[in-house]
Structure 1
Amino acid sequence: MLVQPAKHAMVQALSLFIISMSFLTHDIHACIQTQRTSLLSFALILSSPSLNWTSTNCCHWEGISCNRDGWVTHLQLPSKGLKLKGDSFSSSSLANLTHLTHLNLSHNSLSGPLDDLFLSLNDLKIVDLSYNLLFGVLPSSLPSSHIQMIDFSSNRLHGAIPSSFLQKAWNLASFNASNNSFSGPIPSSICLPSSSLLRHLDLSFNNFNGSISSGLGKCSKLQVFRAAHNYLSGSLPEDIFNVTTLEEISLPLNSLNGAVSDAIANLTSLITLDLSYNQLSGVLPLHLGKLSKLKHILLDFNHLEGSLPPSLMNCTNLVELRMGANNLGGDISMLNFSKLSQLSKLDLRKNNFFGVLPRSLYSCKLLKAIRVSLNNLEVQIQPEMVSLKSLSFLSLGGNKRLTNIKETLKILMRCKRLVVLSLASSFLGEELPADLGEVDFDGFQNLRALDLSFCNLTGPLPLWLSKLKMLELLDLNQNRITGSIPSWMGNLPRLYTISMESNLLSGQLPKQFCRLPMLVSEQAAAQLHRTDIELPIYIPGSVHAKPLQYNYIYYDPSIFLRDNCLSGNIPNEIGQLQLLQLLDLSGNNFSGNIPDQMSNLKHMEILDLSTNHLSGKIPASFTSLNFLSSFNVSHNNLEGPIPSSTQLQSFNASAFEGNLKLCGAPLPKKCQTIKGADAPDMNTQGADTKENQFPWFYVSAALGFITGFWGVCGPLVLMTNWRYAYYHFLENVLDRFRVMISRSMAKVKRSFF
């Protein structure tokens, strides 16, 4: 009986608590009028989209949070498509939000400078304005000592980072200024004792230059330091190796030089070391293996030399080891990979390693990518390769003693996940196997790229290639493949890049070859999803530029059949390959007319039909090929005028030479025009007209000469001070000219001696 009153009392107390909390909650979220006005003024400067800020209480608006006193503390509107009506961000619209701690307007289209945006926002802790269109320079300093995170990445900000910018940011833990246009040196004051809490520093993709000055060592809690893709030079400052909390150093695509310091062994917390695409030299640190937490080592594209330190095999957490394009060497068979159970990617391409590829590599069961091409290794594919169930990228070409192509392919076809296979410059002089010993061929079912170039292989194109339904790139150039191009090649559903130049292929180009789905149908090409690969593919850029790097299979849609023995007419059906960008049929025996249908290849950038036996005229419709950057029809039997267009006339005359009956620009040979019998004699007409004309041209020329002569020479004759000034001016010009000549000669001497 006593239980019921007690229970009733508890219910009453709970009800009173809920009612009181509802009043308290109402008071907490009651919006102060000045805050509401400031937010509405901010909304007014936006052009789109409109924010649904209509209710009385602004604390309940989307992206807005308030404290218990009704002051706005959070303004968070990321990825809302916000744009400004004007060209600049008016700071006055946010000036009254003096209690704001979190400002997130990232991934919008806001523009304007940052000059005084934060001057009155003294309580800011988190600022994220990344992925906008903000421009201008940074303010001299930040007003708030409470700021913990700043993200200005992916904007259009420029200029130097003022040395005083972070002076008051005593609590700053993360600063991201990547993907802008900042310049000048990295300020040494960025790690003042007041910034000792800094953990994350990202200055990548800017224009910073000069050496990295000492001072980073004062950031005693720094974990991530990124400054990739800048113009930094010099060596890494020694004090950076005192920051034992560092987990990532990522400085690729700079001009850093010198050796990697032995002091790097102090960074026992390091997980990622990326110094690729620099100018580092010397040998690798002997005690690199002390960095037991290392997972990613990327030192490719430097000038490193010597051998891999044996201690490297103690980095048992290693996932990615990339040392390609250096001057490293040594006997690779001395390395024991069996400890690297986590290894997923190994790239040692383009070095001077020798010896036998160690079998211990097969114990790394998580391997997805192996690239040891362009060394002096003795490579033989062992059956244990099949045990690497995740292997998708294999490049072994450019070594020695890789033989027996049939057995090699029979083993590798059982690697079910293989996507990229490059065995270039191997199996020298062997015969391309007609079959791989399988009645129902089901190998290489995920293969996208096959490279057997520069192997000097013989025999016809084998039928098993027609089974590779996922193949996108086929490179068989520089072999001795014979026979005709089979019609089944036009049925490969994903093939869009074919290189079979410098072979002994003969016969006609089959019409079926011109039906490749990826080159015919935009709909089919749109369904071809980009294939990401485990190691990047490098495509040469311009002469002095770094090679282009692609982390997915990427080649322009192209067909290279030059330097073969193909004959007959170029089929009209070639006009169906509308997505083709590069076509090279030069150095063959093609005859007949150039098909007019080739003008349907609207995406064509490079077209080479030179050194054949083609006749007739260049189709007038070629004037519509607006994307041509290279064109060559030289050394054929073409005739008639070269079609007039801005595009064709922009090429050098050598692109048309060797066609004796061809005429018109850019060739020096002019085309003869046939005049009708009744055509008026323009020369006679002109002579009759000239007889009745007064020679105004000669009169005006004479008057101009007289006026100009006395206008310049008269003052020099009559006025002594003008004459002296003029002679003095001539002497200065001659002196500057002599200096210029001497400097030019000095440069020439330096360049040749």
Structure 2
Amino acid sequence: MPKHLIGEAMGTPATVLVVLFSILFMEVLEFSYSIASHPNVNCIESEQKALVKFRESLTDESNRLSSWVGEDCCTWKGVVCSNKTGHVLRLDLHNPFDDLANFSKTCLGGEINPSLLNLKHLSHLDLSMNNFSGTQIPKFLGSLQNLRYLNLSNSGFGGNIPHHLGNLSSLRYLDLSDFFYNDLTVDNLLWVSKLSSLKHLDISEISIGEGTDWLQPINMLSSLSVLKLTGCQLYTIPPLSYVNFTSLSSLDLQSNSFDSTIPLWLSNITGLLRLHLDDNRFHGPIPDTLGRLSSLTHIGLSDNSFNTSMPSSLGNLSSLVLLDLFGNEFQGSLQTTIKNLCRLHVLDLSNNNFSGEIPSLEGGPFGCHKNLERLLLSRNSIHGPIPVSIGRLLRLRELDVSRNQLNGSIPLSLGQLSKLEMLDVSHNYLAGMVSEYHFTKLTRLNTLSMSFNFLALNVSSQWIPPFQLQHIELASCNLGPRFPSWLQTQTRVIMLSMYNASVSDTIPDWFDNVYSHILYLDLSMNQISGKLPKFVESNNSIWIGFRELILKSNKFDGPLTLFPSDVTILDLSDNLLSGHIPMIKDVVNLKLEQFILSNNQLSGEIPTFLCNVKTMIFIDLSRNQLSGRLPKCLGFLQQLRILDVTNNSLHGEIPSTLGSLWNLESLHLRNNRFCGKFPLSLQNLTSLQVLDLGKNAFTGIIPPWIGEKLLNLEFLNLQSNKFHGDIPPKICWLSALQLLNVAQNSITGNIPHCFGNFTAMVMDQGLVKGGSGVGANYKEYIIDSIRGIERTYTAAIEEHSSIDLSNNNIDGEIPEELMNLLGLWKLNLAGNHLNGRIPETIGNLKRVESLDLSKNELSGSIPSGLSDLYFLSHLNLSFNNLSGRIPKGNQLQTLDDQSIYMGNSELCGAPLLKSCPGDKPVEGHDQQFQAKGEDSFEFLWFYAGIGPGFFVGFLAVCCTLLFKKSWRYAYFGLVENVYNGLLLASALTAARLRRKFRKGEFGA
């Protein structure tokens, strides 16, 4: 429902009511007089026949017009006659629906028969809230000259509004608004200017369109009191040389696209009571002239682009009942904003930049605000405590101070607000205990949100709350360790969130009876054990399609039980569930969109019933023990956006039918036993952003069409498969790519120079979407490795651009173009046959944290630019042919592990013990020997002797073993490493001893 309709329910002034209903009052008075004077006058025959024809043209599925039988039409439902003359005065066939789910069944439809023209005295026609299926508003309605009231709102009429309605010169009330169907348009409003008696005009949600001069014709209506143009696709407010409609009391221009300052001519409408400019792009300062409109009772400026302080002139609006500034960037303190607005019933300052503390009642601004019913301050920068004196706002029904910087405890005085229905203090820094005394008189409370603070609920196990809640949000509150027993008294709960509530208990027996129909349940991030609770179909028809059951990250065990067909989100991940996923036979009514069972102990095959759930958006069955093949029928799920079966025991080829998943954004098949080549049909997955095929047995070359067709890819992981051949240059067409991993394959050839075209890695923006935007309750994960250790990241992690080509057969030089990828976080080229020099421009990679070039054939010196990598935490240059001095300075000084450089015999300098030519001997090691005296000398000679002895003996054993072919192959790598290590140790030991003898440092 539009926000302005909600506002209409609050504080309507008597003057507006008189204007809106004066016409109806006069007609009712006339009708009552007629009944008293002429009780025996019946319906006129010609008009009765006209109504019969009218009914015959209508469709009436719910039989609403069943009373339209017999001769006296004045007794028919919706027909009002004058007992003075017998003429039909009113025809009221609006749809009196009271059940949204059955609304369509109670609508009248069909056509409007011209027989209505025979109702010459008809003054009131109401066909609102029906469905005439896009038929045009009949032109002949413009001939009903006595009409003073016409309401065709939300009745499913379509096309252009006929200009013939401009002939209704007696019309005082016209409502053509179309919030339900949005099928009506208007090419101009000149015809409106002819309705000289009009007092109420509502054409909301009707497309007026750009370029139409809508204001001048309306300005000619000097009697107009109410004007509503919500959602008319208006872009500009034409200038007015004079204001003619000064009788206007209510102006509603919500939900258009006005991009301007507030027009100054508004200050000339001195009788204005209601002004709603919400949901536009108004900006600039609030005109001081608005302060002249002393009669204003309602101001709505929400959802605009104001970024200023409130002008002091608004303090003159002493009659103001509603002030709605939601969703702007207003600044300043609360004290100066509302100081003199003492009659306020509704104050909504949410979603702005207001600061300061919540004023206290004692002598503060809230001292005169005892009429406040709704106080909404969420999403600002308000700090300090909730004042104790807020408990004096005894008329308060809604209090929302969420998402600020409030601290301190929750005052006990809140428990005195006996009319309070909604309390939201979530997302602050509030701390301390909350007891039953905080809720003493809150008998009307239906919404309680205290999530994400530092609060603990400390109530008696026998406590019976005075309220019946519908929405309970206690995430991150300390409620445990036992499951809160007071919840069994809350029998009307629609939403219950106990995320991370320190509960380590089993689900109590009463839970199934009380909460089996609940629409939103979040018990995640606790230590709840035992069997899953039972749920049944919800009996709340209004919320069909919104049911969410989130029980992840607990210790639920046993089998996965059947779940209700009306659940849209089922998240049971990170538990101890076992057994097969149960087969559901009747899937016709299933509304499942998110099916998340990851990180359990489920076994068996992926059930095929999932293929028939057409509403499915994503499936996450990762980290289980599932086996078998990927069902071919998954290709039927046209809405599927994420499929994750990572870390199971699935095998076989990828079904070609997956190429039919046009909307698929993420495909995770990592760490299974899939094999074969890429199905060519996967080139149809043009929406794909994440493709993870790592740790399988896929074969063949990397298909060039990945770069040609999958242009939205951000994450491509082909690690640990059996791919061979060169990296196709067309991979470089993936300008959005931020993570490329083809490690541990049999890739050959050179690194393509076009890798510099990976624009997303140049721009340093990190993974942005990765297909994880489908639901706020689900986080998609990607897996990458550093130092050989796998790490899991969310797909929205920043600064995670990565290239891993390690452990292949790639040769050639490292391309200079790689050094242009300024956003790179990890670069791993280890275990290949790369040669040449490390590029001098490697210092450009300012963001790199992990750099591994080990086990290649690189030569030359280490570039000095390496010391400019300030974020570098992992470096490996070992086992190359590098030479010269190791650079010093900055981050390199902290990387003092010698293994970083081992296997490069020509390197010298710290942290190696090998000095470079012309350097002073390395100090810090030699002096310690002198202090140890003669014992140290003998100790060193002991090891100097035993070292070569062990070395000779070791070589003898190795030589013996090497005559056996099987032993030679098995231990060749080990012997080589030990040999190199012993050579290095012996050389270092001998060098130290020789140096100390020369210096005469041994002896007493």
Q: Which of the five TM-score ranges fits, normalised by the shorter chain? A: 0.7 to 0.9
Show the counterpart of 1:602.
846
- Residue 743 (structure 2) pairs with residue 501 (structure 1): yes
Cα distance in 2 for partners of 1:528, 1:395 equals 16
What's the CA shift string for 1:193-241, capped at 9, x where partnerless? x212112222222222466765885253311111224555423312212
- Cα–Cα, structure 1 residues 145 and 458, in superposed 2: closer, same or farther, change >3 Å? same
Equivalent of 1:102, from 327, 332, 346?
346
| C-alpha contact (below 8 Å) 1:593/1:614 kept by paired residues | yes
The question of whether the paired residues in 2 share the 8 Å contact of 1:134 and 1:157 is answered with yes
1:157 corresponds in structure 2 to 406
Q: Matched residues in 2 for 1:526 and 1:551: separation? A: 6
Aligned partners of 2:759 and 2:747: how far apart in 1? Answer: 23
With 361-370 and 632-641 compared, the bigger mean Cα shift is at 632-641
Tell me the matched-pair count.
Answer: 623
Residues 109 and 199 of structure 1: CA distance in aligned 2, closer, same or farther (over 3 Å): same
1:327 CA displacement: 0.4
Distance 2:792 2:735 in 1: 27
Aligned to 2:669: 423
Shift of 1:309: 2.6
Contact in 1 for aligned 2:516/2:536 (Cα 8 Å): no
**SS of the residue aligned with 1:111?**
coil
Structure 2: distance between partners of 1:215 and 1:660: 77
Task: Report the Cα offset of residue 121 of structure 1.
Answer: 2.4
Contact persistence 2:685–2:710 (CA under 8 A): yes
Alpha-carbon distance, 1:569 to partner: 1.6
Q: CA deviation at 1:321?
A: 0.8
Q: Secondary structure at the match of 1:239?
A: helix
Match in the other structure for 1:623: 867
Name which of 426, 429, 434 aligns with 1:181: 429
CA offset at residue 23 of structure 1?
12
SS of structure 2 residue aligned to 1:578: coil
Distance in 1 (alpha carbons) for counterparts of 2:868 and 2:481? 51
Residue in 1 aligned with 2:177? none
Shift of 1:442: 4.8
Kept after mapping to 1: 8 A contact 2:560/2:580: no
Pair 1:476–1:136, CA change in 2 (3 A): same
- Per-residue displacement from partner, 1:474-498 (whole Å, max 9, x unpaired)? 1111223222322222223332211
Classify the secondary structure of the residue corresponding to 2:528.
Answer: strand
The residue number in structure 2 matching 1:298 is: 550
Secondary structure at the residue paired with 1:413? Answer: helix
1:179 and 1:206 in contact (8 A); partners too: yes
Distance 1:471 1:56 in 2: 55
Cα distance in 1 between the residues matched to 2:651 and 2:744: 22
Partner of 1:638: 882
Q: 1:520 touches 1:579 (CA, 8 Å); kept in 2?
A: yes
Deviations 1:246-295 (A, max 9, x none): 1011222343221222322213551011112222111112x433656681
Question: Residues 106 and 288 of structure 1: is their aligned pair in 2 closer, same or farther, counting only changes over 3 Å?
Answer: closer
Take 1:673 and 1:475, find their aligned partners in 2: how far apart are those partners?
48
Deviation at 1:157, TM superposition (A): 0.7
Identify if the C-alpha distance between structure 1 residues 337 and 139 changes in structure 2 by more than 3 Å, giving closer, same or farther. farther
Instruction: Tell me which residue corresponds to 2:814.
Output: 570
Query: Structure 1 vs Structure 2: percent identity of aligned residues?
Result: 29
Deviations 1:310-364 (A, max 9, x none): 4x3xx22111111111100123245546265211111111211222332222222
TM, length-normalised to structure 2? 0.56
Moved more, 363-372 or 622-631: 622-631
Asked if the contact 1:583–1:606 (Cα under 8 Å) also holds between the matched residues in 2, the reply is yes
Is contact 2:297–2:322 with CA below 8 Å preserved after alignment? no
1:166 offset after TM fit, Å? 1.0
> What corresponds to 2:893 in structure 1?
649
Which secondary structure does the structure 1 equivalent of 2:691 belong to?
strand
The residue number in structure 2 matching 1:52 is 287
Q: Does structure 1 residue 373 correspond to structure 2 residue 373?
A: no
Asked if structure 2 preserves the Cα contact closer than 8 Å seen for 1:605 and 1:627, the reply is yes
1:374 and 1:397 in contact (8 A); partners too:
yes
For residues 133-170 of structure 1, the C-alpha deviation after alignment (integer angstroms, 9 at most, x for no partner) is 111122224211100111111211112212x1312211
User: Which of 448, 470, 474 is the matching residue for 1:227?
Assistant: 474
Deviations, residues 706-747 of structure 1 (Å, cap 9, x unaligned): xxxxxxxxxxxxxxxxxxxxxxxxxxxxxxxxxxxxxxxxxx
Letter of the 1:127 partner, please give it: L
Q: Deviations over 1:553-611 (max 9, x none)?
A: 97821111222232232122212323322211123232221101222223323222233
Classify 1:329/1:292 alpha carbon distance in 2 versus 1 (closer, same or farther; 3 Å): farther
1:93-119 CA distances to partner (integer Å, 9 max, x unpaired)? 755543332222222222222251534
Query: Which residue is 1:471 aligned to?
Result: 713
The CA deviation at 1:75 is 3.7
Q: 1: distance between equivalents of 2:912 and 2:297?
A: 69
When residues 610 and 129 of structure 1 are mapped into structure 2, their CA distance, relative to the original with a 3 A threshold, is same
Correspondence for 1:719: none
1:441-452 aligned at under 5 Å gives the runs 442-452=683-693
Letter in 2 for 1:240: L
Native 8 Å contact 1:606 1:628 kept in 2: yes
**Counterpart of 1:277?**
525
Name the residue aligned to 1:411: 657
1:258-273 aligned at under 5 Å gives the runs 258-265=505-512, 266-267=514-515, 269-273=517-521
Q: CA 1:14–1:443 in structure 2 vs 1: closer, same or farther (change >3 Å)?
A: closer
Task: Indicate conservation of the 8 Å contact 1:188/1:215, yes or no.
Answer: no
Query: Given the alignment of the two structures, is residue 582 of structure 1 paired with residue 826 of structure 2, yes or no?
Result: yes
- Are the counterparts in 2 of residues 367 and 388 from structure 1 also a CA contact under 8 Å? yes
- Equivalent residue for 1:482? 724
Q: Does 1:125 align with 2:373?
A: yes
Q: Which residue of 2 aligns with 1:360?
A: 609
TM superposition shift of 1:410: 0.8
Larger gyration radius, structure 1 or structure 2: 2
Change in Cα spacing, 1:184 to 1:376, as seen in structure 2 (3 Å) is: same
Name the counterpart of 2:382.
134
Question: Contact conserved, 1:101 with 1:123, CA < 8 A, in 2?
Answer: yes
User: 1:560 matched to which residue of 2?
Assistant: 804
Q: Select the residue among 550, 560, 581 that pairs with 1:332.
A: 581
C-alpha distance in 1 between matches for 2:808 and 2:503: 46
Aligned residue in 2 for 1:538: 781
8 Å CA contact retained: 1:533, 1:552:
no
For residues 552 and 532 of structure 1, do their structure 2 counterparts lie closer, same or farther at Cα, with a shift above 3 Å needed? Answer: farther
- Structure 1 residue 197 corresponds to structure 2 residue 444: yes
C-alpha RMSD of matched pairs (Å): 4.1
The answer for unaligned runs of 5 or more in structure 1 is: 1-10, 27-47, 676-753
- Indicate if the aligned counterparts of 1:495 and 1:516 stay in contact, CA closer than 8 A: yes
Structure 1 counterpart of 2:252: none
Instruction: Report how far residue 60 of structure 1 moved.
Output: 6.2
Q: 1:671 to 1:256 in 2, by over 3 A?
A: farther
Distance in 2 (CA, whole Å) between partners of 1:627 and 1:661 is: 27
1:622 partner SS: helix
Q: Does residue 343 in structure 1 map to residue 592 in structure 2?
A: yes
- 1:443 is matched by which residue type in structure 2? N
Change (3 A) 1:202 1:673: farther
Cα 1:673/1:102, change in 2 over 3 Å? farther
* Post-superposition offset of 1:304: 0.9
User: 1:500-534 deviations in whole A, cap 9, x for unaligned?
Assistant: 222222332222334333334679x9999986245
Structure 2 CA distance for aligned equivalents of residues 660 and 422 of structure 1? 43
Instruction: Tell me which of 565, 569, 572 is aligned to 1:316.
Output: 565
Equivalent residue, structure 1, for 2:559: 307
Tell me whether 1:170 sits opposite 2:422 in the alignment: no
> C-alpha deviations, 1:369-427, integer Å up to 9, x for none?
11212222234333432322212211224333531x1xx34111122222111122333
Q: Distance in 2 between matches of 1:124 and 1:542?
A: 57
Q: Is the 8 A contact 1:656 1:667 kept in 2?
A: no
Specify whether residues 140 and 480 from structure 1 end up closer, same or farther in structure 2 by C-alpha distance, changes over 3 A only.
same
Note the residue ranges of structure 2 that are not aligned, 5 or more in a row.
1-171, 173-196, 200-221, 227-244, 250-282, 301-313, 541-545, 921-1004
508-517 vs 242-251, greater mean Cα deviation:
508-517
Q: Do 1:63 and 1:77's aligned partners in 2 also have CA atoms closer than 8 Å?
A: no
